[in-house]
């Protein structure tokens, strides 16, 4: 079932069928109707592959996620959902690909084979091989996150540096004098993960400004690690009364760790962080946090990518969000622990 078959059955040429479909050339009403009747009868739909070859574009974008084996965080899931959604609204399909470790074949296939018109990259490192690949391939891309030379790409990002500093200030305002930063995993931080580095920078700046005791620690992206992380912090730092965090996946574990230590939130211990709104609202208790608008960021990433695809020579654009901290009740006045 192809355009030739439709042409034959309607007694016209293939080009006429094509034009009847695209409307790029006038077609008489009678022939158009005849053609449409045949199309409806046979349920013909143009072959996307052939069209892509001819037009030189696939109408597909690639979305590069972290290795799928490790669970996506709530925020990452929010990005995926909003990208798929926004792409769909623009009649673009989304090719999902993971990268990292043994998944690099997939990335290579998608990028090298030009299966997509452009790419959205998640979980970018300060120095990121994938960015290098994409530049070399001349494929338009947009980062959810940015490298250390952010002027040379389009991106959307969260201003972790500012947000974590704000969390510290908020906690210091409440009288806290011992504050921990619970970071993402040590592997991420070690491989130059931007949010880790920038959050750390903001943390150092703020604790210096407020002259509070600050301790920085990494924690894997899951609840269990959150528990042990808190256990360790409580033992090693008796003066600690608050946590600022960018590790949303570990927060439920932190709650549990504190509870097991007999500490009540926010009476005995405060937590503030950066998290997807959905998660922050649905945690128990709801988390005082800068609510990352994953929807907006994902949609913006698609918008920027469409722009770059349309005009690869256009100047780069970006969006850095620093949403306000929503007070939800996990932060309160400091109270010394014994």
Partner DNA sequence: TTGTAAGCGTTATCAA
Partner DNA sequence: TTGATAACGCTTACAA
DSSP string covering 239-291, please? T--EEEES-GGGHHHHHHHHHHTTPPTTTT-EEEEEEEHHHHHHSSSPPEEEE
The least CB distance from residue 281 to a second copy, in Å, is 9
Question: For residues 53 and 327, which CB has a smaller minimum distance to DNA in the complex?
Answer: 53
The least CB distance from residue 74 to a second copy, in Å, is 9
Write out the residues near DNA by the rule CB under 7 A: 2-4, 11-16, 18-19, 21-22, 24-28, 30-32, 44, 46-47, 50-51, 53-56
Q: Among DNA, a second copy, none, what does residue 148 contact (CB within 5–8 Å per kind)?
A: none
Task: Identify the helix (H) or strand (E) that includes residue 142.
Answer: strand 141-144
Question: For residues 157 and 295, which CB has a smaller minimum distance to a second copy in the complex?
Answer: 295
Q: Looking only at Cα atoms, what is the longest distance across the chain?
A: 91
Query: 3-state DSSP helix/strand/coil percent for the chain, to nearest 5?
Result: 50, 20, 35
Question: For residues 24 and 136, which CB has a smaller minimum distance to a second copy in the complex?
Answer: 136
Burial of residue 304, with CB atoms counted within 10 A of its CB: 0-12 exposed, 13-18 middle, 19 or more buried:
buried
The least CB distance from residue 113 to a second copy, in Å, is 3
Q: Among DNA, a second copy, none, what does residue 263 contact (CB within 5–8 Å per kind)?
A: none
Question: For residues 21 and 334, which CB has a smaller minimum distance to DNA in the complex?
Answer: 21
Residues 6+ apart with CB under 8 A from 338: 238
**Structural contact between residues 239 and 177, judged by C-beta atoms closer than 8 angstroms:** yes
Q: Among DNA, a second copy, none, what does residue 31 contact (CB within 5–8 Å per kind)?
A: DNA
The least CB distance from residue 29 to DNA, in Å, is 8
Question: For residues 281 and 318, which CB has a smaller minimum distance to a second copy in the complex?
Answer: 281
């Amino acid at each position: 079932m192809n355009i030739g078959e439709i042409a034959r059955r309607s007694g016209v040429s293939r080009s006429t069928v094509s034009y009847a479909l695209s409307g790029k050339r006038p077609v008489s009403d009678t022939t158009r109707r005849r053609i449409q009747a045949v199309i409806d009868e046979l349920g013909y739909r143009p072959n996307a592959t052939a069209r892509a070859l001819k037009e030189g574009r696939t109408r597909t974008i690639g979305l590069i996620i972290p290795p799928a084996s490790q669970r996506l965080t709530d925020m990452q899931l929010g990005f995926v959902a909003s990208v798929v959604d926004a792409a769909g609204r623009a009649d673009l399909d989304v090719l999902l690909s993971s990268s990292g470790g043994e998944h690099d074949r997939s990335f290579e296939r998608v990028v090298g084979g030009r299966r997509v018109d452009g790419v959205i990259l998640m979980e970018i490192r300060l120095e990121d091989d994938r960015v290098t690949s994409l530049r070399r391939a001349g494929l338009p891309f947009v980062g959810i996150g940015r490298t250390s030379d952010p002027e040379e790409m389009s991106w959307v990002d969260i201003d972790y540096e500012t947000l974590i500093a704000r969390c510290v200030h908020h906690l210091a305002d409440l009288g806290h004098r011992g504050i921990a930063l619970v970071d993402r995993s040590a592997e991420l931080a070690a491989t130059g993960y931007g949010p880790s580095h920038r959050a750390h920078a903001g943390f150092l700046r703020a604790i210096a400004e407020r002259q509070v005791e600050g301790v920085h620690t990494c924690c894997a992206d899951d609840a269990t690690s959150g528990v042990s992380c808190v256990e360790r912090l409580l033992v090693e730092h008796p003066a600690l009364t608050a946590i600022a965090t960018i590790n949303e996946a570990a927060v439920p574990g932190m709650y549990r760790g504190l509870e097991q230590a007999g500490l009540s939130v926010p009476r005995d211990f405060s937590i503030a962080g950066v998290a997807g709104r959905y998660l922050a609202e649905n945690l128990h208790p709801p988390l005082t946090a800068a609510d990352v608008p994953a929807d907006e960021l994902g949609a913006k990433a698609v918008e920027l990518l469409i722009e770059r695809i349309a005009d690869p020579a256009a100047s780069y654009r970006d969006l850095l969000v620093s949403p306000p901290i929503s007070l939800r009740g996990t932060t309160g006045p400091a109270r010394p622990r014994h």
